[in-house]
Amino acid sequence: MIKPQSRKILLIINRNAGQKEGAHVIEVVVPFLEANGFQVEYSYTNHSGHATEIALEASKIGFDTIVAVGGDGTVNEVAQALIGTKIPMGIIPLGSGNGLAGELGISTSINQSLQTLINGKDLELDVWKFNQQRFLCTSGIGFDAAIANKMDKASSRGFWKYAKLVLQECASFQTTDVELKIDGQSIKEAVFMVTFANASQFGNRAFIAPGACMTDGLIDIVVVKKFSKIWLPLFAGALFLKLIPKLPFVDCYRANQIKLELADTKVYHFDGEPRELETPALISMESEKIVVRCGR
């Protein structure tokens, strides 16, 4: 529950999120919050990284809660500024994936996500790093990173665009040779993908690491080894049925630290955002945490 004195809220809005629903969200959100006694200000993002800039400045001038209104990209940018500040981040999810919102029980219904802002609880979450790049939910290499890279360059976004790219990439995707040390244990494999999961899902209720917990100080590593493409429909179904760990070509680990010594690929992703890969890479927990208002 928000404390009575915690009444100054900033909304950081991606006006293009949710089929441009973000442009009109203030028509519902601001009156609702003001009617419940909140002092509300809002700002629109104008370019990549702008949400981080806005949140960083806002964190210094007395806002009690800072709310990301948009998709996973907006949420991630706001989060980058609030790690270690103790200022709660709220989420009004308008994206196609809504990974962190889904993990924390925050509804994609604007009215229900507003109820979470008012009545939800603040949870302190672990933050992890891929080298120095911080992430909240997942990071990884291989197929998912390749899709993230393609999505980043696409002229449109959304679930159906993502699904189309997945189908196209499946036909030609080549495995990646990796060398890992997971808490000192050496692994060499040709992999379809390797995911470092602080959260259980990518988004859209696709559960890559069903047992992952964002508050246990550990990270789940899901190694999807090379497999015949006739297994692809089963792999896709297992994501949504929380059955990935049961597949015969999947190995799962839980660790404090991972060293990615070698990977025959140029790209990794953090929370769905692609970046150029440099190895060796260290995946480790950040010393600071982030507070997020959640629905469970």
In tens, the pLDDT along 272-295 reads 899 999 999 999 999 999 999 997
Pair (81, 22) in one structural domain: yes
Pair (144, 169) in one structural domain: yes
Q: Is the pLDDT of residue 33 over 70?
A: yes
Q: Specify which residues 10 forms β-bridges with.
A: 41, 66
Give the mean model confidence (pLDDT) for residues 203-226: 95
Q: Specify which residues 283 forms β-bridges with.
A: 130, 258
Q: Which of 85, 119, 153 is the last residue of a domain?
A: 119
- Distance between CA atoms of residues 132 and 236, nearest Å: 31
Pair (162, 194) in one structural domain: yes
What residue type is 295 in one-letter code?
G
Give the mean model confidence (pLDDT) for residues 142-160: 77
Can you give the residue range of the structural domain that contains 27?
8-119
Pair (94, 153) in one structural domain: no
Domain count, the chain: 2
The two tokens of residue 44 are 């629109």
Pair (154, 205) in one structural domain: yes
Question: How confident is the prediction for the chain on average, in pLDDT?
Answer: 90
CB atoms within 10 A of CB 19: 10
- Distance between CA atoms of residues 200 and 60, nearest Å: 32
Percent of the chain with pLDDT over 70: 92
Give the mean model confidence (pLDDT) for residues 136-163: 80
Q: What's this model's pTM, rounded to 2 decimal places?
A: 0.91
Q: Can you give the pLDDT at residue 155?
A: 61
Task: Name the band, by pLDDT with cuts 50, 70 and 90, for residue 19.
Answer: low
Q: Is the pLDDT of residue 3 over 80?
A: no
Q: Can you give the pLDDT at residue 1?
A: 37
Give the mean model confidence (pLDDT) for residues 69-94: 95
Determine contact, residues 273/76, Cβ cutoff 8 Å.
yes
Pair (238, 104) in one structural domain: no
Looking up residue 16, the CATH number of its domain turns out to be 3.40.50.10330
Terminus-to-terminus CA distance in the chain, angstroms?
12
Chain centroid offset of residue 55 CA: 17
Q: Which of 119, 140, 155 is the last residue of a domain?
A: 119
Lowest mean pLDDT segment, chosen from 5-19, 91-105, 231-245: 5-19
Q: Is the pLDDT of residue 296 over 70?
A: no
